[in-house]
Amino acid sequence: MDRFISKLLFLAACSSTAILALIALFIFKEGLPIMAKTGIGHFILGKEWAPLSGQFGIYAFIIGSLWVTIGALIFGVPLGVSCAVFLAEFAPPKWVGVLKPAIELLAGIPSVVYGFLGVMWLAPIIREHLGGPGLSILAASIVLAIMILPTIVSVSIDAIQAVPKSYKEGSLALGATAWQSTWRVILPAAKSGILAGVILGMGRAVGETMAVIMISGNATTIPHSPLDSVRTLTANIAIEMGYAVGDHRQALFATGVVLFFFIMILNTVALKFARRKF
């Protein structure tokens, strides 16, 4: 019986790994030929995306993904980390019991709702007050920042709470204030955990599709300001998959290959930081 169960579990473990391998294999099989045909350099750095005339350059989308993600981090990280510091170190326990679940609830809102809010409310504000089309890097960054908040906040809170209490005691006993102790001892000690949270949030921002399609404007050109419309790698696949055939279809899979590496690198880095101890 024991042997049977352990075999069964082994099979389950194998199959989940196999699924990953099969997906990777399939994406690569579909995507690599077009990359070879266009040339990897041309595919990644090509500035022209015109599937109908056989131009497959995804540079603008890589830049789009990059800016939208960086923007999301610029808004999300300071807000999320400050929030985590407050909840973990300064807030009365009663507040934490209310605020932490509330922030985690943000993760439960479907991305289409975020996108809808962005289109209906945020984009018009940006268009009226700052100019441009409204559907832009800025709008997408702000919405993504809110979407990655729960990840950053909850991972950071855990990281801060995992710092041994003796560090804080030691610091206070030297005559430091609560804030000095937090800033000079607790945050440096929690640094690697907080960074892991930020990288996980970043992974989410890179992979988010629906909300980004709705609010980023989806222009296939290279953006010159935060108020310009962009298209991200994920959006490119989702928008065009409905009617893509032949080379075009393969080019979308190739976009997936690039995305695959992008996210794999981020996850590896995240795991490395998460495992590192103080």
* Contact residues: another protein, CB under 8 A: 164, 166-167, 169-177, 180, 184-185, 188-189, 278
> Given the complex with another protein, which of 184 and 272 has the nearer CB atom?
184
What's the min distance (Å) between Cβ of 188 and another protein? 7
What's the min distance (Å) between Cβ of 51 and another protein? 53
> Given the complex with another protein, which of 168 and 204 has the nearer CB atom?
168
Angle at 207 between CA 36 and CA 16, to 5 degrees: 80
Q: Are 155 and 197 in contact (CB under 8 A)?
A: yes
Q: Which two tokens stand for residue 216?
A: 């980023």
> Given the complex with another protein, which of 96 and 219 has the nearer CB atom?
96
What's the min distance (Å) between Cβ of 178 and another protein? 10
Angle at 223 between CA 218 and CA 253, to 5 degrees: 50
> Given the complex with another protein, which of 108 and 175 has the nearer CB atom?
175
Contacts of 46 (CB under 8 A, 6+ apart): 38, 55, 56, 57, 58, 59
Q: Are 140 and 64 in contact (CB under 8 A)?
A: no
Cα–Cα distance between 72 and 181 in angstroms, integer?
29
- What crossing angle do the helices spanning 123-130 and 137-161 adopt, rounded to 10°? 120
What's the min distance (Å) between Cβ of 198 and another protein? 19
If you compute the radius of gyration of the chain from its CA atoms, what whole number of angstroms results? 22
> Given the complex with another protein, which of 94 and 224 has the nearer CB atom?
94
Q: Which two tokens stand for residue 192?
A: 């690697």
What's the min distance (Å) between Cβ of 159 and another protein? 13
